Amino acid sequence: MFVKCYTSTIYGISANKVTVEVNISKGIGMHLVGLPDNAIKESQERIRSAFDNSGLKMTGKKCVVNLAPASIRKEGSGYDLPIAIAILAASGQCHVDKLENYILIGELSLNGDLTPIKGVLPIAIEALADNFKGIILPVENANEAAVVEGLDVIGVNNLLQVIQFLNGDCIIEPAKYEILSSDLYYELGEYEDDFSDVKGQRHIKRAIEIAASGGHNVIMIGSPGSGKTMLAKRIPTIIPPLSTNEALETTKIHSVAGKLGAESGLLKKRPFRAPHHLTSQVALVGGGASPQPGEISLAHNGILFLDELPEFGRNMLEVLRQPLEDKKIVVSRAKYTVEYPANFILVASMNPCPCGYFNHPTKECVCSRNSVHRYINRISGPLLDRIDMHIEVTPVENSLMVGDSVEECSQDILRRVVAARTIQSQRFSDCSYVHTNAMMNSKMIRKYCKLSSESSSLLERAIAKLSLSARAHDRIIKVARTIADLAGEREILPTHIAESIGYRSLDRENWGR
Ligand SMILES: Nc1ncnc2c1ncn2[C@@H]1O[C@H](COP(=O)(O)OP(=O)(O)OP(=O)(O)O)[C@@H](O)[C@H]1O
Ligand SMILES: [Mg+2]
Ligand SMILES: [Zn+2]
């Protein structure tokens, strides 16, 4: 007998429908066709064992399993369930009639239980788009899929339960997930890490507020213990909450990477990813034998924090150039090419020199000028080109550290950031791919950042006097645009330019560049 049912395969962060056809005829053996990878071949063994342990029979005849279309590459262990069910239906052990309404997906363990798989969210989105009534999947994946409204998400524990459901012997209520708008936001003001924890450091907080407002990449330069990591961790709390679309997109990436827990539906917080400098290149940018998104994509719509930037190998930093420019990464291997979104704010940190105390207010730096130079130069010019702001972090004074000063909380800073971002949304309302000042190309800079002659000559003088490199020019203007937006000014005033110039320390010649 011939039976078909449907499943899905992930490509990048989207899914494609796959038809599983089973034909049982005279002869012996099981034959899998349609480009199955090793995991699918292994699924034969799991299916046999699951049948044995569930009191089900593997057909004694010739069983041909075809995964179509043959042209798409199929990965992973999620095919166990659809293949098993198609075999059972073709051998008369399960009803056929409901099969056309559902996407089936899930890995079988040897005893017939279902184990969760990766990438359920894009699969559910595609199932709805393909007009399926529902999706049958491991119960642990149900909440993740239930984010998609209008699809019956049937969470099941084991193979026998799927048969009972398809035979109409049991009713399984579709999983419910309510997208509360409040759910998409951090609960107001209740951040685990809040800017009010950071004592003093007023001008550094100001710089970070500018970066968050304009979406500017930043590098923090400061001695050990000066608070760089502490500050970076708190940046997501002052970026406006994820919109529903952003939340969906970011959650899809985490779904494909298998980084969502059973409880989670849509991600509510902007991601903060802090990969270690010994992380592999694949883990950072994505790829691998069966392609997975890397840290830069897990940071999509959030923050990628690279602590101790010079410790990252040069190759690692080079591969960041494309995603920083294009807001996505294309991973090409012999067998595939996939694309993952990677639109993040880069926050990097570094010591000012090998000993860590160059420019320190109280401690002496023991490094030679040359070694400071070499240290800074470990970060390539082209990467530095994509970092708008350099923030020097000096340690907070002891008196402030022990005092009981009340510091401004993240919620208050966020309010100002939201106002500045609203101005930017209006400015870029005609352009679908630019939302923040940081994303302006040079044509947009000419259009939206006209300088008065006073501002302009201040900038030229500063560039000459401080020996700033040419690359500093446009970055200073972009950041000044954000400073003006925070002040609610249409025009970029000389004070805005002056403040912005202060955020280019690594361009100064006396810092080795
Ligand atoms: N302004 C501050 N207010 C309150 N605590 C602070 C402040 N600055 C530093 N600290 C304390 O010092 C600790 C060390 O800070 P942090 O780890 O952020 O420093 P760092 O600059 O990242 O250092 P390293 O270069 O060693 O990574 C923090 O955990 C925090 O307890
Ligand atoms: Mg640190
Ligand atoms: Zn030093």
The CATH number of the domain where 304 resides is what? 3.40.50.300
366 versus 373: which is more confidently predicted?
A: 366
Q: Are residues 21 and 76 in the same domain?
A: yes
Question: Quick check: is 186 in a domain?
Answer: no
Q: Are residues 375 and 446 in the same domain?
A: no
* pLDDT of res. 513: 44
The answer, yes or no, to whether any atom of ligand 1 lies below 6 A from the CB of 119, is no
Q: Are residues 114 and 228 in the same domain?
A: no
Residue positions counted in the chain: 513
**Domain boundary residue among 410, 428, 459?**
410
Q: Are residues 202 and 351 in the same domain?
A: yes
506 versus 251: which is more confidently predicted?
A: 251
Question: Quick check: is 190 in a domain?
Answer: no
The answer, yes or no, to whether any atom of ligand 1 lies below 6 A from the CB of 203, is no
**Alpha carbon of residue 27 to chain centroid:** 50
335 versus 97: which is more confidently predicted?
A: 97
* pLDDT of res. 188: 53
Q: Are residues 363 and 489 in the same domain?
A: no
Would you call 63 helix, strand, or coil by DSSP? strand
Question: Quick check: is 416 in a domain?
Answer: no
The answer, yes or no, to whether any atom of ligand 1 lies below 6 A from the CB of 250, is no
Distance CA 108, CA 472 (A): 57
Q: Are residues 83 and 204 in the same domain?
A: no
Tokens of 126: 């595609």
**Domain boundary residue among 167, 185, 208?**
167
Tokens of 374: 């070499």
pLDDT tens string 274-333 = 999 999 999 999 988 888 999 999 999 999 999 999 888 888 888 998 999 899 999 988
Q: Are residues 142 and 238 in the same domain?
A: no
Question: Quick check: is 182 in a domain?
Answer: no
The answer, yes or no, to whether any atom of ligand 1 lies below 6 A from the CB of 198, is yes
What's the first-to-final CA gap in the chain, in angstroms? 74
Question: Quick check: is 174 in a domain?
Answer: no
Question: Which residues span the domain enclosing 58?
Answer: 2-167
324 backbone φψ class: left, alpha, beta (φ>0; ψ -120 to 50): alpha
Question: Quick check: is 189 in a domain?
Answer: no
Would you call 346 helix, strand, or coil by DSSP? strand
**Domain boundary residue among 118, 150, 167?**
167
Asked if residues 85 and 18 have their Cβ atoms less than 8 Å apart, the reply is no
Which of 204, 208, 230, when mutated, tests ligand 1's pocket best, judged by the most ligand atoms within 8 Å of its CB?
230
Least distant ligand from the CA of 220:
1
The answer, yes or no, to whether any atom of ligand 1 lies below 6 A from the CB of 283, is no
Asked if residues 331 and 341 have their Cβ atoms less than 8 Å apart, the reply is no
Question: How far does the centroid of ligand 1 lie from the alpha carbon of residue 396, in Å?
Answer: 9
Distance CA 282, CA 288 (A): 6
Domain total in the chain: 3
- Find where tokens 């500093």 sit: 472
The pTM is what? 0.88
Q: Rounded to whole angstroms, what are the CA distances from 185 to 191, 214, 299, 399?
A: 11, 20, 17, 36
